[in-house]
Amino acid sequence: MTEQQALAHIGVVGLAVMGSNLARNFASRGHTVAVYNRSYEKTALLVEEHGNEGSFLPAKSIEEFVASLERPRRAIIMVQAGAATDAVINQLADAMEPGDIIIDGGNALYTDTMRREREISAKGLHFVGAGISGGEEGALNGPSIMPGGPKESYESLGPLLESIAAVVDGVPCCTHIGADGAGHFVKMVHNGIEYADMQVIGEAYHLLRYAARMTPAEISDVFKEWNTGDLDSYLVEITAEVLAQVDAETGQPLIDVIVDSAGQKGTGRWTVKAALDLGIATTGIGEAVFARALSGARTQRTAAVGNLPAGTLTTLEALGVDRADFIEDVRRALYASKLVAYAQGFDEIKAGGVENNWELRPGDLATIWRGGCIIRAKFLNRIKEAYETDPELQSLLLDPYFKGEVANLVDSWRRVVVLSTQLGLPIPVFASSLSYYDSLRSERLPAALIQGQRDFFGAHTYERTDKPGHFHTLWSGDRTEVQTS
CA neighbor of 293 nearest in space, from 266, 256, 271, 333: 266
- Decide: is 32 part of the binding site for ligand NBP (CB under 6 A): no
Catalytic status, residue 348: no
187 is catalytic: yes
CA–CA dist 392, 415 (Å, integer): 33
DSSP one-letter code for 481 = E
Selected catalytic residue, list 187, 338, 350, 384: 187
**282: DSSP letter:** -
Is residue 223 within 8 Å of 239, Cβ to Cβ? yes
Chain centroid to Cα 393, Å, comes to: 21
Q: Residue 283 pairs with which residues in a beta bridge?
A: none
Kindly identify the residues of this chain, within the stretch 131-170, that bind ligand NBP according to CB under 6 A.
Answer: 132, 135-136
Q: Least distance from C-beta 19 to ligand NBP, angstroms?
A: 5
Please, what is the minimum distance in Å from the beta carbon of residue 269 to ligand NBP? 14
Catalytic residue among 117, 194, 348, 405: 194
By C-beta, is 136 or 388 nearer to ligand NBP?
136
Q: What is the CA radius of gyration of the chain?
A: 26
Mark residues 311-350: x for contact with ligand NBP by CB under 6 A, - for none: ----------------------------------------
- Least distance (Å) between residue 41 CB and ligand NBP: 7
Q: Which residue is nearest to ligand NBP (CB)?
A: 106
In the complex with ligand NBP, the residue whose CB is nearer, 69 or 88, is 88
Query: Any alpha helices (H) in 69-109, and if so which ranges?
Result: 83-95
Q: How many CB atoms lie within 10 A of CB 122?
A: 8
Shortest distance in whole angstroms from residue 31 CB to ligand NBP: 19
Smallest CA-to-CA distance from 285 within 452, 433, 68 is with 433
Length of the chain: 485
Pairing of strands 10-13, 32-36: parallel
Q: Which of 87, 152, 165, 86 is nearest to 125 (CA)?
A: 152
- According to CB under 6 A, which one of 31, 42, 224, 414 is a site residue for ligand NBP? 42
Min dist CB 138 to ligand NBP, Å, is 8
Beta bridge partners of 427: none
If we measure between CA atoms, which residue out of 138, 137, 108, 139 comes closest to residue 128?
A: 108
Beta bridge partners of 56: 33
Interface region with ligand NBP, contact rule CB under 6 A, candidates 8-16, 236-244, 332-340, 422-430: 8-16
Cβ distance to ligand NBP smaller for residue 20 or 337: 20
Q: Is 357 annotated as a binding residue?
A: no
Distance CA 134, CA 142 (A): 8
Nearer to ligand NBP, 78 or 375 (CB): 78
Q: Does 14 count as an annotated binding residue?
A: yes
426 binds ligand NBP (CB under 6 A): no
356 is in an annotated binding site: no
Q: Which stretch binds ligand NBP (CB under 6 A): 11-19, 168-176, 202-210, 451-459?
A: 11-19
Candidate ranges 128-136, 301-309, 377-385, 463-471; the one touching ligand NBP (CB under 6 A): 128-136
| Nearer Cβ to ligand NBP (75/214) | 75
Task: Compute the distance between CA of residue 41 and CA of residue 46 in angstroms, rounded to an integer.
Answer: 9
Q: What is the DSSP letter of 335?
A: H
Q: At residue 472, what are phi and psi to the nearest 5 degrees?
A: -140, 135
Which range touches ligand NBP (CB under 6 A), out of 15-23, 59-67, 347-355, 364-372? Answer: 15-23
Q: How far is the CB of 348 from ligand NBP (least distance, A)?
A: 20
- Contacts to ligand NBP from residues 65-104, by CB under 6 A: 78-81, 84, 87-88
How many other CB atoms are found less than 10 A from the CB of residue 457?
Answer: 8
Which residues have a catalytic role annotated? 187, 194
Q: Which residues of the shown chain bind ligand NBP in the complex (CB under 6 A)?
A: 14-19, 37-39, 42, 78-81, 84, 87-88, 106-107, 132, 135-136
